A = this chain, B = another copy of it.
Amino acid sequence: MDLNFSSYLLEDAVNELSKLPGIGKRSAMRLALHLLKQEKPHVKRLGESLIKMREEMRFCKKCHNISEKEICNICSSPKRDASLICIVEDIRDVLAIENTGQFTGLYHVLGGLISPMDGISPSDLEIRSFLTRIEEEKIEEVIFALAATVEGDTTNFYIFKQLKNKKIKVSSLARGVAIGDEIEFADEVTLGRSITQRLPYNGA
Contacts and interface: CB of A to CB of B under 8 A. Distances in A.
A73 interface: yes
Given A6-B74, A72-B6, A91 B52 contact: no
Interface residues on A, range: 35 or more
For this chain, the copies found in one complex come to 2
A123 interface: no
A181 interface: no
A117 interface: no
Given A2-B99, A56-B9, A43 B32 contact: no
Interface string A9-53: 110110111011110000101111111101010111111111111
A50 B47 contact: yes
Interface of A: 2-10, 12-13, 15-17, 19-22, 27, 29-36, 38, 40, 42-57, 65-68, 72-74, 90-92, 94-95, 98-99
A171 to B, nearest CB: 23
A53 B12 contact: yes
